[in-house]
Amino acid sequence: MKPLHNRISQEELKGLLFKETEFRKTISFYKYFNISNPDEFRDELYRNLSELKVFGRIYLANEGINAQISVPETNFEAFQSYLYSISDLNQLRLNVAIDDDGKSFWVLKIKVRSKIVADGITDPSFSMNQTGKYVQVDTFNEMTKDPDTVIVDMRNHYEYEVGHFKNAIEIPSDTFREQLPMAVQMLQDKKDKNIIMYCTGGIRCEKASAYMLHHGFDHVYHVEGGIIHYANTAKEQQLENKFIGKNFVFDERLGERISDDVIAVCHQCGDPCDDHTNCKNEACHLLFIQCKKCDKKHHGCCSEACSIVLDLPEDLQKEYRKGIDKGQMIFNKSKENRLRPRLNEG
Does residue 138 sit in the same domain as residue 232? yes
Instruction: Establish if 255 belongs to a structural domain.
Output: no
- List, for residues 264-305, the tens digit of each pLDDT value: 999 999 999 999 999 998 888 899 999 999 999 999 999 988
Nearest CA to 202 among 177, 228, 184, 241? 228
d(CA 24, CA 79): 12
Domain range enclosing 333: 264-346
Does residue 172 sit in the same domain as residue 207? yes
Does residue 140 sit in the same domain as residue 231? yes
d(CA 288, CA 343): 17
Instruction: Establish if 163 belongs to a structural domain.
Output: yes
Categorize the per-residue pLDDT at 321 as very low, low, confident or very high, splitting at 50, 70 and 90: low
Instruction: Establish if 257 belongs to a structural domain.
Output: no
Mean pLDDT of 305-318: 82
- Indicate the Cα dihedral angle 240, 148, 174, 27, nearest 10°: -30
Look at the chain and report how many structural domains it folds into: 3
Does residue 285 sit in the same domain as residue 314? yes
pLDDT of the residue at 16:
54
Instruction: Return the CATH number at 60.
Output: 3.30.70.100
Does residue 107 sit in the same domain as residue 158? no
Decide if pLDDT at 90 tops 70. Answer: yes
Does residue 138 sit in the same domain as residue 227? yes
Instruction: Establish if 193 belongs to a structural domain.
Output: yes
Decide if pLDDT at 135 tops 50. Answer: yes
pLDDT of the residue at 21:
64
Does residue 335 sit in the same domain as residue 304? yes
Residue 273 annotated to the active site: no
d(CA 305, CA 291): 18
The one catalytic residue in 199, 266, 273, 302 is 199
pLDDT of the residue at 104:
80
Decide if pLDDT at 102 tops 90. Answer: no
Q: Is the model more confident about 238 or about 13?
A: 238
Nearest CA to 278 among 336, 333, 329? 329
d(CA 346, CA 343): 10
Q: How many of the other CB atoms lie within 10 Å of CB of 272?
A: 11
Kindly report which listed range (227-231, 235-239, 243-247, 304-308) carries the lowest average pLDDT score. 304-308
Instruction: Establish if 192 belongs to a structural domain.
Output: yes
Nearest CA to 252 among 112, 68, 21, 8? 68
Instruction: Establish if 327 belongs to a structural domain.
Output: yes
Check if the beta carbon of residue 273 is closer than 8 Å to that of residue 264. yes
Kindly report which listed range (21-25, 86-90, 237-241) carries the lowest average pLDDT score. 21-25
State the SS3 of 33-77.
Answer: CCCCCHHHHHHHHHHHHHHCCCEEEEEEECCEEEEEEEEEHHHHH
Note the Cα 153 to chain centre separation in Å.
13
The whole model's pTM is what? 0.82
Give the percent of the chain with pLDDT over 70.
86
Residue finishing a domain among 192, 211, 243: 243
- List, for residues 45-86, the tens digit of each pLDDT value: 999 999 999 999 999 999 999 999 999 999 999 999 999 999
Categorize the per-residue pLDDT at 312 as very low, low, confident or very high, splitting at 50, 70 and 90: confident
Does residue 92 sit in the same domain as residue 22? yes
pLDDT of the residue at 110:
96
Residue finishing a domain among 112, 144, 161: 112
Does residue 327 sit in the same domain as residue 277? yes
Does residue 207 sit in the same domain as residue 239? yes
Instruction: Establish if 292 belongs to a structural domain.
Output: yes
Mean pLDDT of 111-115: 96
- List, for residues 198-229, the tens digit of each pLDDT value: 999 999 999 999 999 999 999 999 999 999 99
Mean pLDDT of 8-25: 63
Nearest CA to 169 among 146, 155, 142, 151? 151
Instruction: Establish if 121 belongs to a structural domain.
Output: no
d(CA 28, CA 34): 19
Does residue 23 sit in the same domain as residue 103? yes
pLDDT of the residue at 251:
80
Residue finishing a domain among 213, 243, 273: 243
State the SS3 of 97-121.
Answer: CCCCCCCCCCCEEEEECCCCCCCCC
Does residue 41 sit in the same domain as residue 91? yes
State the SS3 of the chain.
Answer: CCCCCCCCCHHHHHHHHHHCCCCEEEEEEEEECCCCCHHHHHHHHHHHHHHCCCEEEEEEECCEEEEEEEEEHHHHHHHHHHHHCCHHHCCCCCEECCCCCCCCCCCEEEEECCCCCCCCCCCCCCCCCCCCEEECHHHHHHHCCCCCCEEEECCCHHHHHHEEECCCEECCCCCHHHHHHHHHHHCHHHCCCCEEEECCCCHHHHHHHHHHHHCCCCCEEEECCHHHHHHHHHHHCCCCCCEEEEECCCCCCCCEECCCCCCCECCCCCCECCCEEECCCCCCCCEEECCHHHHHHHCCCCCHHHHHHHCCCHHHHHHHHCCCCCCCCECCCCCCCCCCCCCCCC
pLDDT of the residue at 282:
85
- Mean residue pLDDT of the chain comes to 88
